[in-house]
Structures are given as C-alpha cells and as structure tokens.
Amino acid sequence: MKRISSFIIFTIATGSLFTACRKADEIQRNPANVLTDIYASKDGNGRDRLFNPRYSNDTIYFDIPYFFPEYSDDETDLTKIFLRGSIPSDAYITPAFGVFTDLSKPYTFSVVSGTGEVKKYVVMSKKVGNVSLANVKVKFTDGAGATQEIDGVLQPSGEVLFYLLPGTAMNNAKITYEINKHSTASIAIDGAVDLSQPLPFVITGTDGVSKTYTLKVAEPIKLAYGIGINRQLWVKSGSDLGFTANNEVGIAVSGDHLILVRRTNPSKFSVYNRFTAAYVQEMYNPFGAQLSFQMVEDTVGNLLAASWAPKNAKFMLYKYKNALDGAPVKLIDWTNNNPATIPLDGGVGRRVNIYGNLDGNAVIMAPAGQSNVIFRWRVQNGVVVSQTPETIVYPGLANGAANFGFYAEAQPVSAGANADYFINYQQDIAFVNGATNARSVAFANEVGNFGIFHMPTAYTRFNNANYLAIVKYVSTYDLNRIHTCLFDVTNTSRLNTSSTDPNYSTFNVFTSAEQNGTLNGNGTADICVAFSQNKERMQVYTLLTNGGIVAHEFTTYAK
C-alpha cells in the first residue's frame, strides 16, 4: 500500500512539473482594417438602411434626399445622421459609429486593425433633389377620332419610349406624369407635346440640379407568335345603341361593319362601322315575323342569319355576301321535327356557330335547347350537302349538368367532315373529338377559370396561335357583370390548366376590365372576331345584353 501511494504522488508531481514548464498559447491578432460596408440612417429610423454610398478609393459619398421621406415636407438635417458599418473581426472604428454625425462637412474616421494598422476614410455628403420620373403617359386622338393613351417605357439611357403601332395618327397629344412634389418640369402636366421628333423633357430638383429625359415615339417589336400590344378600341352603352330590355342578343362582323341582332318582332339587324361604332343602316330581314337571335360570319366575311325554330317550326339560314347585301340567299330550310325526341325545349337557332368559307367548305353547328343534342350541316364547294342535319347526341355532359341549357355553343375548328369542336355550356368548356363526339379534354372546373357562368364563344387563329374567346360572367347571377377572355388553345392538352398554375397567364392570355349592365335574366351576350391591316391587328367585340358593346384590339407587336 505504501509503494502504491508513493507512485501516485510521484506521477502527480511529475505532471505538474511538465505543466508548469508549458508556454501559454499566443493570440493571433487580425491585421485587416478594410471597411466592408457602410450606410447611413437618420434620427428616428434606428438601424434602418436609408441611404447607400458611392465609393472612390478612400472617399465615401452619400447623396441624401433633400426631404425624407421624399414626398414629405420634412427637410433632412445633415448634422444628425447616423453611420453604420461592417468591419473585420478584431478591428474597431474611431470615432465610433452609432451616434449623431455631422455630415454637413467632410467627416473623417479610421478603421484600426487588431495589430494596430490604421486606415482612414473621408465621408462627403450633400442633399440632393429628386429628379425621378414615373407613370409617363401620352393621350391623343387617333385618325378615327378615338381617344388613345400610351404608357411611356423609361430606358436606362433616359429615353422614354412610347410604342406606337405603324400608321397610327397622333393628334392633339398631351402628356401626364408623376414627379416629386418639390421638383419642377419643363412641360406642364396635360401640356401639349409634339412627338414627331424626339422631345427633351427636363426635371429640376430642389437643389437646382436637372436631369434631361427624351420623349420619343418608337415602333414596337413584331412578334413571331401570339398577341402583343392591346387596347380598348371603343365602348358604347346600351343607351348609346338604342337597346331595349333583353332584346339585343347577337353580334357579327363583315368587312368594316358590325351587325347587332335585335330579337324584336320583327327582328332587326342594325349595321355599325366596327372601327368607330357609327350607325350605318338596317339590314334586310328575310324572316318576316319569325324571330332571329343570331347572325354569324364565316372566315371570308359572308354572313349567316338564323331563324329561331321551336319544335316543328322552320329553321332557316340565309347567306349574305356582306352587311349591305339586300338580296340574301336561303342556304338551309329545315323543319325542326325534333329527330332526337328531346323532352324539354328542343328549340334551334338561339346559337349557331360556323367554321370555314360558305363559298367553299364549311361546317355549321347548332345545339338544341335544354338537351345534349347538336345539329350539324356541311357545306362543300359552296353547296349544302344535305338540308337535313346530322344529329349528334353528345355523351360527355360533365360537372353535374343534366343538359346544355338554352344558350350552349358548339364551335367547330375545321371545315372537315368530322371536324373537332369546342362545346361551351354553363357547366363545362371542352374540346370534343368530331368523329366520336367524345370529350377529349376540358377546362379546369374552377370559378377562377371561367367565372360563375359562361357561354358566348368564338374561335380564331391569329399570328400563328389559336385562340378561344369566351365571355365570363362574375360575381352575381344577375348575369350583368362580365369579362372578355382569350385563351391560347394552340396546344389543346393545356386546356385543363388550373387558374392557380404559375404558367396560367400563358393560357388565359387576356382578361378585360369588367363590363357592366342591368339585370340580364336570360344571361345573353355574344362575342365575335375580325381582322385588319393584313391580319396584323385583331378586333374582338363583346356584347352584353342590357349593357352595351366593347371593342378591343390586339396586335402582333410587343413593347
């Protein structure tokens, strides 16, 4: 036991001897003394990063707004500025930051490294005015007398570009804009401008320093695909167009004319200039006392007027060469003998759709009311193949629908014998195989996608893209609040794109501002499409019963 104790004591003593002889670790000091960041703040804003610097070697410049916030009347006091910075570990700043600093004159500070090396900096500060420019617009009257407005696009160079479509007249142009309340501009708001040449536009800040912008008209970039710049061409209220309650139910286009169908007794076809909405005349009506709800156009401007045919009544289609044709030709004369034994309404003619050229090949489709039946006629070489239509019993009713309702539309997409088509009724919008009549793919059943109600349909091709235009009803079952919507259906597999999809805007490529009217119990509206300037512009016209008509124009140009 004694030997063990002696060994333990010797071991501890030896360890203590070695420990006592070990030299303490040397602390390595950091020689870095370069400022890695600096910013400025002001009284009341704590550590907020309000003002950023510019650097030139060891000199730091702050351009501090004359007033802050910049749209207030609170003038900045340069003697009460806070500086904040970042430095390497083990370094310090002298004089210390975090207290009021007087930047009304040059201010010197140093960064001292852990090894004692000193790097000096000088801060130079001045109060500057605000010479920024925002929301520049030019308003003018075009060659047709319509008021137009174009947003200016500010370039880094200081140019403000107004993208104007080729051939557009710019009369009585005036400019509007936003600048700081303490700044002045060389052209007054709503001041007249002549943009036939680049126009200097000078903004001067409170400090007397000016910046010159250049206002300039530019031709937009032509797109290889799809719609580009668009605008509202005109809008006319129901009172402007002489609407009466529930009677204006259809529109069509041909040449320079827009035709409004009024289901009065007798029905009327009122002709307007489609670019200005100026009234032209009434068209000849061949139906006598028989009502008409619908007129449609083919791809070359021929018009097709339809009679309304309840069960056992005559369904007739008359072909017009144009809106001024006083001698239309009867194309179809068929008695609606209810070949599919529809138990409910079964009327034909509320809605008729066409694809093709009535002087060549075309397909005509007309759903029967409150059914799942569509009647189809074919035109070959300008002649109707049969007065008796093909009866299609559509097997694909979806989303709880018992039938199409009254105003469904079946829109063919080609002039072939078994043309595929879109079917649009209250519960669904679907693309249908024309040979089997099977529902191939459909819109996502979402309110965000097609509203609470939808019916009117137009199909067209523009700038290498296929578009389905629909009218979307929103917010109320008074059915008096609508939007015009364009969907890119070139790739039909995208029809089921959800409204929450990040790429939804490439499918639903346009939604108009809301169009309003009074109570529209029947839910009627219509939409049609036309072109101008060698198909470099497309016009879309939207009728809301008891509301009015709005015209939109789309181009092949982008900003």
Residues 117 and 140 occupy one common structural domain: no
CB 97 within 8 A of CB 82: yes
Decide if 323 is inside a domain: yes
Q: How many whole angstroms separate alpha carbon 185 and alpha carbon 210? A: 9
Can you give the pTM of this predicted structure? 0.71
Question: Do 397 and 317 share a structural domain?
Answer: yes
Structural domain tally of the chain? 3
pLDDT for the residue numbered 138: 97
Q: How far apart are CA 366 and CA 377, in angstroms?
A: 9
Residues 213 and 109 occupy one common structural domain = no
What whole-number distance in Å separates Cα of residue 35 and Cα of residue 490?
57
- At 244, which amino acid appears? T
Q: 3-state DSSP: the chain helix, strand, coil percent, rounded to 5?
A: 5, 45, 50
Whether residues 398 and 273 fall in one domain: yes
- Do 357 and 468 fall within a single domain? yes
Residue in 436, 438, 443 with CA at minimum distance from that of residue 501: 443
The separation between the first and the last C-alpha atoms of the chain, rounded to the nearest angstrom, is 99
For 109, the enclosing helix (H) or strand (E) is strand 107-112
The per-residue pLDDT for 24 is 61
User: For residues 292 and 347, what is the distance between their CA atoms, to the nearest angstrom?
Assistant: 12
pLDDT tens, N- to C-terminus, the chain (559 residues)? 444 444 444 444 444 444 445 556 677 899 999 999 999 999 888 788 899 999 999 999 999 999 999 889 999 999 999 999 999 999 999 999 989 999 999 999 999 999 999 999 999 999 999 999 999 999 999 888 888 888 898 898 999 999 888 888 999 999 999 999 999 999 999 999 999 999 999 999 999 999 999 999 998 889 999 999 888 889 999 999 999 999 999 999 999 999 999 999 999 999 999 999 999 999 999 999 999 999 999 999 999 999 999 999 999 999 999 999 999 999 999 999 999 999 999 999 999 999 999 999 999 999 999 999 999 999 999 999 999 999 999 999 999 999 999 999 999 999 999 999 999 999 999 999 999 999 999 999 999 888 999 989 999 999 999 999 999 999 999 999 999 999 999 999 999 999 999 999 999 999 999 999 999 999 999 999 999 888 989 999 999 999 999 999 999 998 6
CATH number of the CATH domain containing 448: 2.130.10
> Closest Cα to residue 554, out of 228, 254, 298, 271?
228
User: Does 163 lie in the same domain as 118?
Assistant: no
Predicted confidence at residue 151, as pLDDT, reads 87
pLDDT at 167: 82
**Are the C-beta atoms of 366 and 406 separated by less than 8 Å?**
no
Residues 366, 326: one domain? yes
DSSP string, 503-524: TGGGTEEEEPPPEE-S--TT--
Question: Are residue 165 and residue 77 in the same domain, yes or no?
Answer: no
Instruction: Enter the DSSP assignment of 27.
Output: P
**Which is it for strands 353-356 and 362-367: parallel, antiparallel or unpaired?**
antiparallel
163 is a domain residue: yes
CA distance 253 to 532: 12
Q: Which two tokens stand for residue 320?
A: 């017009």
H/E element, 465: strand 465-473
Domain endpoint, select from 128, 152, 172: 128
Do 382 and 324 fall within a single domain?
yes
Evaluate whether residue 553 is within a structural domain: no
d(C-alpha 107, C-alpha 82), whole Å: 12
Domain that holds residue 205: 134-219
Q: What's the CATH code of the domain at 80? A: 2.60.40.2340
Rounded to an integer, what distance in angstroms lies between the CA atom of residue 505 and that of residue 487?
Answer: 9
188 with 114, same domain: the answer is no
Of 128, 161, 177, which residue sits at a domain end? 128
- Tell me whether residue 299 is in a domain: yes
Q: Assess if residue 332 is contained within a domain.
A: yes
* Residue found under tokens 């003394």: 33
In this structure, is residue 519 part of a structural domain? yes
Q: List Cα–Cα distances, 289 to 251, 267, 350, in angstroms.
A: 20, 8, 16
- Joined together, the tokens standing for residue 302 give 């021929």
Residue 316 phi, psi (nearest 5): -125, 145
For 12, other C-beta atoms within 10 Å of its C-beta total: 10
Q: Give me the DSSP letters along 135-190.
A: EEEEEEE-TTS-EEEEEEEE-TTSEEEEE--TT---EEEEEEEE--TT-EESS-TT
On whether the CB atoms of residues 143 and 169 are closer than 8 A, the answer is: yes
Q: For residue 144, what pLDDT is reported?
A: 80
537 domain-assigned:
no
Specify whether 186 is located in the same domain as 152: yes
* Two structure tokens written together for 54: 């510019």
Ramachandran angles phi, psi of 251, nearest 5°: -140, 155
Flag whether 301 is in a domain: yes
Same domain? 279 vs 211: no
CA distance 417 to 255: 28
Strand partners, 165: none
Contact criterion met (CB below 8 Å) for 49 and 63: no
